[in-house]
Amino acid sequence: MLSWLTARGRRAADDRRMSCRYPAVGNEARLGWWSEGVYTEVAARIEDLSQGGARLTCAHPPLRDEIHIRLERPKSTAWAPAKVRKSVRSFGGSHQVNVEFPEGCPSDLFSETRGCRLEAVPEHVSSEFDGRYWR
């Protein structure tokens, strides 16, 4: 019984995911990295993401552990630093790349990839807190 608990505890400790993973809407992304003084950029698609990382599909895997990611569509975002945690060639010749966002996923990348853009924040959610109304 003790060995089962130890094994179970080890598996839980090996799981690095600290936040929920969400499916991504249709998107076009870019991965970029420096290698031996040459900057390389490849097309990618974000499959799912969380505040701490993402899973991407691309034709050419990154050659470095430290890369940058940005969206081109549905809306262009700024480059976000990321670290490659795993890269596996999948069926059909594409590559599945798991990355971690060391500084957390930028809010624009997170919201655009999930398709939940917040165009405007309402000024007053409830009239109870609106200064224009007096009771």
Contact (Cβ atoms closer than 8 angstroms) between residue 27 and residue 46: yes
Q: What is the residue range of 42's domain?
A: 18-117
Determine, yes or no, domain membership for 9. no
Q: Tell me, yes or no, whether 133 lies in a domain.
A: no
CB 89 within 8 A of CB 95: yes
**Greatest extent of the chain over all pairs of C-alpha atoms, in Å:** 68
Helices (H), 1-135: 2-14, 107-114
**CATH code at position 45:** 2.40.10.220
Q: pLDDT tens digits for 46-80?
A: 999 998 999 999 998 898 899 999 999 988 999 99
What 3-state DSSP class applies to 92? coil
Enumerate the β-bridge partners of residue 54: 49, 99
The answer as to whether 130 is a domain residue is no
Question: For residue range 74-106, what is the model confidence (pLDDT) as tens digits?
Answer: 889 999 999 999 999 988 889 999 999 999 989
List, for residues 8-58, the tens digit of each pLDDT value.
443 444 445 567 888 888 899 999 999 889 999 999 999 999 989 999 999
